[in-house]
Amino acid sequence: MKKQLTIGLFGFGCVGTGLYEVLNKTALLQAKIKHIVIKDATKKRSIDAAYFSNDADRILNDEEINVVVELISDSEAAYTIVKRALSSGKHVVSANKKLIAHHLEELVSLAKANNVSFLYEASVGGSIPIIRNLEEYYNNDSLSTINGIVNGTTNYILTKTGEGLSFDTALSTAQELGFAEADPTSDVDGFDAKYKLVLLLKHAFGYTANQADVWNYGIRQLKTWDATYAREKSLKIKLLAFGTRINDQIIGFVAPHFIPATHFAYNVENEFNAVVVEALFSDRQLFLGKGAGSYPTASAVLSDISALQFDYAYEYRKTNEEEQLHLTTDFKLKVYVSATSKEALETVPFAETLEVYHGATHHFIIGWIAFKDVLQKDWNNESDLFLAVLPDGVKLNTEEAILATNQEVVFA
């Protein structure tokens, strides 16, 4: 039977306002927003001022409110709110990937102990229903790989810089459109994508990664000659979150990749996200949709709220305490690294060099590098270096076979 849902909403930014509008346009849902808590209670809002206060207790102590929707950017404040809400027996819907990637186990236990649901579809892939599909649909099919574009801001920047816009202009537009995080470093340095990958690893493989152990490298150091190299080779640069399972080992990282035209992500542009799931029986499947923005993200929040009407909760059935799953660093990457200074480039410890280029403006090396050696550098802050993984550029140290990252999805 459908339950009446009374919502307390935290945050009325891009996604919060989108949710308000989307709820008003959804006749089938028995849900109403009772109160909205925001940081600045004096700010002029587009809806009745009576909805708003900056007093969290107005939601958390209200017994009629049975659902807390948390859509604020401050993950520390969100942590306190979500814990209190779950502890007081309220269901929680959140889009806060940073919060969840940092505190997943604790929040899941808290929800379980209080017999409530904690749902977060909007935290990964915006409008793409990837979490619920991994959780429900693939429950009996053994998953091997999950790979994709999961950050709309960087995909938007890469698309627009490819069309000739400057990085800073593309980023400001992404901010104006409501795609970027309050601190866009999280987008451009790959943290946001890493948090999403942590959630994907949990729902794909049942593995809880410590977010600090997952390498994330973004696109801040990308230079014009890297984009030119890609164009000349008919490749594109995309920021991919890659996760694969080989027996009890998991490879998971976020980094820019050069991808060819046959790659599933090649034509995924602007704020669109795309995730490929590989499983034993269903083979390769592609999920595609808008990964950021007001309505697309609100649509995923709406879907979680709607699922609460039927008491839906994630069951984490893939989590198996007996398994010894662990993140491995025992693999190598085939990468392109460029720099203006030859000396800076020479500090990169390639295990095998395949190609070297020295030019007037910059230099680059293509070769295989042990992942352990990649981790020796803080790449996001190496201003003269840019690294990108090449097609099919992941290989376990112990085996010769290349792990296919160049995943074609041809619909011909």
Q: Which residues bind ligand HSE (CB under 6 A)?
A: 126, 151-153, 179-181, 187, 192, 291-292
> Smallest distance from the beta carbon of 148 to ligand HSE, in angstroms?
12
> Smallest distance from the beta carbon of 110 to ligand HSE, in angstroms?
23
Choose between 180 and 370: whose C-beta lies nearer to ligand HSE: 180
3-state secondary structure of 302: helix
Q: Where are the beta strands (DSSP E) in 38-95?
A: 52-53, 67-70, 91-94
Choose between 117 and 153: whose C-beta lies nearer to ligand HSE: 153
Q: For residue 310, what are its two tokens?
A: 């039927």
Choose between 187 and 226: whose C-beta lies nearer to ligand HSE: 187
| C-alpha distance from residue 114 to each of 59, 87, 94, 111, 340 (Å) | 18, 6, 17, 5, 56
- Match 């984490």 to its residue by tokens: 316
Choose between 13 and 260: whose C-beta lies nearer to ligand HSE: 13
Instruction: Determine how many CB atoms are found less than 10 A away from the CB of residue 409.
Output: 15
Neighbouring residues of 208: CB distance < 8 A, sequence distance ≥ 6? 104, 105, 198, 201, 202, 319
Is 43 a known active-site residue? no
> Smallest distance from the beta carbon of 48 to ligand HSE, in angstroms?
28
> Smallest distance from the beta carbon of 98 to ligand HSE, in angstroms?
10
Neighbouring residues of 98: CB distance < 8 A, sequence distance ≥ 6? 75, 186, 191, 192, 195
- The DSSP bridge pattern shows strands 249-259 and 236-246 to be antiparallel
Specify which residues 93 forms β-bridges with: 69, 119
Instruction: Determine how many CB atoms are found less than 10 A away from the CB of residue 196.
Output: 27
Residue of 196, 290, 332, 334 with catalytic role: 196
> Smallest distance from the beta carbon of 156 to ligand HSE, in angstroms?
7
Choose between 176 and 355: whose C-beta lies nearer to ligand HSE: 176
Which amino acids are annotated catalytic?
Answer: 196
